[in-house]
């Protein structure tokens, strides 16, 4: 408990007299026992976690066969899309709500990476917590079960706009796409399993010294190869009521305020590339005296900023995890 109280003091110092951008992480940020110390230390965190867990175990047994406590302690299952999404969403929302008063009026914007946009929608008041739970459980289920013919890999390289354009051109000839523009040193590719070996070799030839890292995923997310899963999720999104956010939000590089526009963006989010580079740059260029704070779990987005963005962004990026 004392460690977390010290962490909160550090957060207060970092955000003092600054405009705060809250970042919500996506898949790959999960790890065993994430958030456990927060659950045992803060009643607000425990209250929300228990509520989400009760909803999942009571109403979503056809989708999720374990409670959240078990999942968060099961490293093998936690790395499966079906389970990781609701687990990360839960930890992020609980963390944000626990720190909401600490962030207070300093908040100028919320942004999320892929799955993190669902955490963002709940925390900004765009959708209810119950709707968020429903969509995230079903999103993980559909992505896990209806996207088997694709795969993803990371390309690690010192990119600029020109080399990004060259990669996009190569991918187009393989009917593949950049799924995540994570930073200037990391792009994620989605492609079919049939072309993955040839495509990797082509990229290695064109980008000397690059590293190719296969991702352990169940499909080629943020591409046309998960269109079936997206069609299922669209029907669920259509049922949800969206409201104007109480805190400004940036959805995949664009500031959005209109509920209908937000809803339409989310209906195509699963098949639309994540442009995290443009998201961070858009926000940075829109506010002065700004800092980025990444909520639990982990510090994946913070590391992207520090390793793949100019120093003016890297130097103002923090994670709750490490403070």
pLDDT digits (tens, 9 = 90+) for 30-49: 999 999 999 999 999 999 99
pLDDT at residue 59 in the model:
97
For residue 177, pLDDT over 90 is answered with: yes
Secondary structure of the chain as H, E, C letters: CHHHHHHHHHHHHHHCCCEEEEEECCCCCCCCCCCHHHHCCCHHHHHHHHHHHHHHHHHCCCCCCCCHHHHHCCHHHHCCHHHHHHHHHHHHHHHHHHHHHHHHHHEEEEEECCCHHHHHHHHCCCCCHHHHHHHHHHHHHHHHHCCCCEEEEEEECCCCHHHHHHHHHHHHHCCCEEEEEEECCEEEEEEECCCHHHHHHHHHHHCCCCEEEECCCCCCCCCHHHHHHHHHHHHHHHCCCCCCCCCCEEECCEEECCHHHHHHHHHCHHHCCECHHHHHHHHHHHCCCEEEEECCCCCHHHHHHHHHCCHHHHCCEEECCCC
Domains belonging to the chain, first-starting first, are 2-147+223-319 (3.40.366.10), 150-214 (3.30.70.250)
> What is the pLDDT averaged over residues 162-175?
98
What band does 3 get if pLDDT is binned at 50, 70 and 90?
confident
Q: Name the average pLDDT for the chain.
A: 96
pLDDT digits (tens, 9 = 90+) for 252-293: 899 999 999 999 999 999 999 999 999 999 999 999 999 999
pLDDT digits (tens, 9 = 90+) for 117-135: 999 999 999 999 999 999 9
For residue 216, pLDDT over 90 is answered with: no
pTM above 0.75, yes or no: yes
pLDDT at residue 228 in the model:
96
For residue 218, pLDDT over 90 is answered with: no
pLDDT digits (tens, 9 = 90+) for 128-157: 999 999 999 999 999 999 987 899 999 999
For residue 90, pLDDT over 90 is answered with: yes
pLDDT at residue 1 in the model:
75
> What is the pLDDT averaged over residues 93-99?
98
pLDDT at residue 273 in the model:
97
């Amino acid at each position: 408990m004392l460690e977390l109280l010290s962490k909160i003091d550090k957060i207060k110092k970092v955000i003092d007299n600054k405009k705060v951008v809250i970042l919500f992480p996506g898949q790959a940020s999960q790890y065993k026992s994430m958030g456990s110390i927060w659950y045992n230390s803060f009643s607000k965190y425990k209250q929300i976690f228990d509520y989400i867990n009760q909803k999942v175990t009571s109403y979503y047994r056809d989708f999720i066969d374990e409670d959240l406590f078990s999942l968060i302690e099961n490293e093998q299952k936690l790395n499966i899309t079906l389970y990781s999404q609701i687990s990360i969403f839960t930890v992020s929302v609980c963390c944000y709500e626990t720190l909401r008063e600490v962030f207070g009026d300093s908040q100028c914007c919320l942004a999320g990476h892929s799955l993190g946009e669902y955490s963002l929608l709940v925390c900004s008041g765009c959708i209810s917590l119950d709707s968020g739970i429903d969509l995230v459980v079903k999103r993980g289920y559909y992505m896990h079960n209806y996207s088997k013919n694709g795969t993803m890999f990371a390309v690690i390289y010192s990119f600029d706009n020109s080399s990004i354009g060259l990669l996009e051109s190569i991918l187009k000839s393989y009917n593949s796409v950049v799924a995540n523009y994570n930073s200037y040193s990391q792009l994620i590719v989605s492609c079919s399993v049939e072309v993955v070996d040839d495509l990797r070799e082509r990229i290695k030839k064109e980008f000397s010294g690059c590293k190719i890292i296969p991702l352990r995923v169940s499909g080629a997310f943020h591409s046309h190869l998960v269109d079936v899963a997206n069609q299922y999720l669209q029907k669920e999104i259509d049922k949800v009521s969206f409201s104007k956010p109480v805190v400004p939000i940036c959805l995949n590089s664009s500031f959005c305020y209109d509920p209908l526009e937000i809803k339409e963006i989310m209906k195509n989010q699963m098949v639309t590339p994540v442009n995290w580079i443009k998201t961070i740059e858009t926000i940075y260029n829109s506010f002065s005296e700004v800092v980025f704070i990444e909520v639990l779990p982990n510090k994946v987005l913070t590391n992207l900023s520090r390793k793949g963005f100019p120093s003016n962004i890297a130097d103002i990026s923090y994670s709750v995890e490490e403070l």
